Chains A and B, each alone.
Chain A
Amino acid sequence: MTARSLESGAPARERAASPSLWARIWQNDAPGYLFLLPWLIGFFGLTIGPIISSLYLSFTDFDLLTDPNWVGASNYVRMFTNDPKFLASMRVTMVFVIFSVPLKLAFALAVAMLLNRGMRGLPLYRALFYLPSLLGASVAIAILWRQIFAREGLVNDFLSIFGIVGPSWISTPQYSLWTIIILAVWQFGSPMIIFLAGLRQIPQDMYEAASLDGASKWRQFVKITLPLLTPVVFFNAIIQTIEAFKSFTPAFIISGGTGNPINSTLFYTLYLYQEAFGFFRMGYASALAWVLLALVGLFTAFSFLTSKYWVHYDD
């Protein structure tokens, strides 16, 4: 119908231009969008849509079974004024992030520096140190950890050689979180590999020049290695911090899903899980998720904003 009316009524120039415009769009854009189609469906259906609807749900009392009722900001208000478990879980996650990430990165860098000195057997060591990173996220390793730090576990067996009688580390509130921090630091292999790749990019003649000028190893590290490595440090720190915020399995397995003793391993993600799938307080859990998003977003924005003061780029 439209094609016919175009053919009869429109001036010849337009008639020629408009099909070719559409043809051009079809030819230029369609293949790209066709290849992108699965991702686009996923992006809208599994990411953007759910983000918006979880923002909405965070202002409701949704419980999965009945329709959500709008409750305003009361979920958020309750969180910060009347929910000790929220504050406890926030504290646990913060302590975990603040200690596990720097310790893990420091370990990774130290071992990478050692390995980068041209030792024989580098591939073997690299593989051995990487293995825990690969296995570490598994439930099996969390089970192993629970056993290692139990009252009659491996750690106490070892301590008993020196006549020390250790407590049950996982059920003592002061120590339980630290067993999970140790588990995280144990998996320093993958940032170590990234550090190794970064160290190889540093031109060796810089060190030669510096050592000819009599700079000590420590000075070379502080003045050459560290500044040139800051982009890699930055990258590792961002990735590891986001991962640390999301950590769930070890705390779940080690505490049997409870976050005990006295909430000392109640990771934020674990608390969110309990609220959503234990008590079906889906509205409240959505609000918890948005606070987590805000936290991760703030952290990332802060890192990027401050990065220009300490991350050294070549250009």
Chain B
Amino acid sequence: MTDAPAKLTVVGANRLTPTQRRIVSVLMHAALLTVSVFMLYPLLWMLAASFRPENEIFTSASIIPSEWSLDAYVRGWNGLRTGFGTFFTNSFIVSILSVCGNVLACSMAAFAFARLNFRFRSFWFAMMLMTLMLPYQVTLIPQYVLFRQLGWVNTFLPLVVPKFLAADGFFIFLMVQFFRGLPKELDEAAQMDGCSPWRIYWKIIMPLSMPVLATAAIFTFIWTWDDFFGPLIYLSEMKSYTVMLGLRTFTDSTGESDYGGLFAMSVLSLVPIFLFFLFFQRLLIEGIATTGMKR
């Protein structure tokens, strides 16, 4: 990352004096900082608003509250018939099960595509790539009918079971790319020693693929956590709501009168994602750069 740009400055050096270069650099930092502030201001403002006393939320656009208060969090947490504690628990259950399903099922499919030979492999791979482009609306209604007939509506199953069936092709693709980069000799040597494909997958490929598995796990967690549409159509009882549904109900019922509580719960709902961002930023950014994921 650092090599290439350094070269470029050398090119610039042919034409600009050191002072000019410094001015250009200061101007660019100023421009980028301005853009950053504009972009992040709404987030900071929401954070600040959640700590403001109720009467002060709309009175100023400034970031710093005159006094810090946790009232909004207390009000928001218990603002609905069912507390946000339940919603958070539900979201964690759904997200963690989804992570397990995606990592397991997608890595199995990716192992087959990347490391095993079987008839029609490239045909199935092409089919898998096609599903990446498919708008989910096309399968939505029959899937809903199916899950309804199975009696799965109002359970987490419609949200979780598809993950165990590797329904998210993006991660298969991501893992195939990674597995293909591992030396083929590993499998061959293991096969000579009488290792079954299952053992090769579990004992050799998986341990070597921790970076890509972690990337898939984190993105699955974030996307499932954020998912609104799935819970919206499949969960109708408040005790099974996820955080996103809880927030939506909050906006409908008390949101207009209690913006403080709404903001406090919104901020809380972003905390898990923000923590992933803080600790695994590098992994996420590399994941996007290599596969071009949508978010």
Contacts and interface: CB of A to CB of B under 8 A. Distances in A.
A138 interface: yes
Interface string B41-52: 111011000000
A103 interface: no
A286 interface: yes
Contact of B39 (A129, A158, A200, A289): A129
Contacts, number: 275
Given A114-B28, A117-B8, A272-B137, A154 B142 contact: no
A51 B146 CA distance: 13
A243 interface: yes
Contact of A32 (B112, B251, B266): B112
B189 interface: no
A279 B38 CA distance: 41
Given A46-B165, A190-B293, A114 B138 contact: no
Interface stretch (B92-100, B119-127, B207-215): B119-127
B226 A204 contact: no
A114 to B, nearest CB: 6
Contacts of B42: 144-145, 148, 154
A197 B149 CA distance: 47
A122 interface: yes
B176 to A, nearest CB: 12
Interface stretch (B67-75, B77-85, B270-278): B270-278
B109 to A, nearest CB: 4
Given A35-B201, A128-B40, A140-B267, A293 B5 contact: no
A119 B29 contact: yes
A178 B167 CA distance: 33
Given A35-B109, A128-B39, A134 B262 contact: no
Interface string B176-211: 000000000000000000001110010000000000
Interface string A200-236: 1000100110010000000000000000000000011
Interface residues of B, number: 102
A289 B141 contact: yes
A211 B43 CA distance: 42
A252 B229 CA distance: 10
B295 A137 contact: yes
A186 B39 contact: yes
Q: How large is the interface on A (under 10, 10 to 19, 20 to 34, 35 or more residues)?
A: 35 or more
A170 interface: no
Contact of A134 (B143, B196, B222): B222
A285 to B, nearest CB: 6
Given A53-B142, A293-B135, 20 more contacts: A29-B119, A32-B112, A47-B167, A50-B141, A50-B143, A50-B146, A117-B9, A125-B32, A131-B40, A134-B222, A134-B273, A134-B295, A138-B244, A140-B265, A143-B262, A144-B263, A157-B61, A158-B61, A235-B292, A245-B135
27 contacts: A30-B118, A31-B196, A38-B105, A39-B108, A41-B165, A51-B139, A54-B141, A118-B5, A125-B32, A125-B36, A127-B281, A131-B40, A135-B43, A138-B270, A139-B244, A140-B267, A152-B58, A157-B61, A190-B294, A200-B1, A200-B4, A207-B8, A248-B228, A249-B228, A252-B228, A282-B141, A292-B138
Interface of B: 1-2, 4-9, 11, 14-15, 25, 28-29, 31-32, 35-36, 39-43, 45-46, 58, 60-61, 105-106, 108-109, 111-113, 116-119, 121, 124, 127-128, 131, 133-146, 148, 162, 164-167, 172, 196-198, 201, 222-223, 226, 228-229, 233, 244, 247-248, 251-252, 255, 259, 262-263, 265-267, 269-270, 273-274, 277, 281, 284-285, 288-290, 292-295
Interface of A: 28-33, 35-36, 38-43, 45-47, 49-51, 53-54, 57, 64, 111, 114-119, 121-122, 125-141, 143-148, 152, 154, 157-158, 186-187, 190, 193-194, 196-197, 200, 204, 207-208, 211, 235-236, 239-240, 242-243, 245-246, 248-249, 252-253, 256, 269, 272-273, 276-277, 282, 285-286, 288-290, 292-293, 296-297, 300
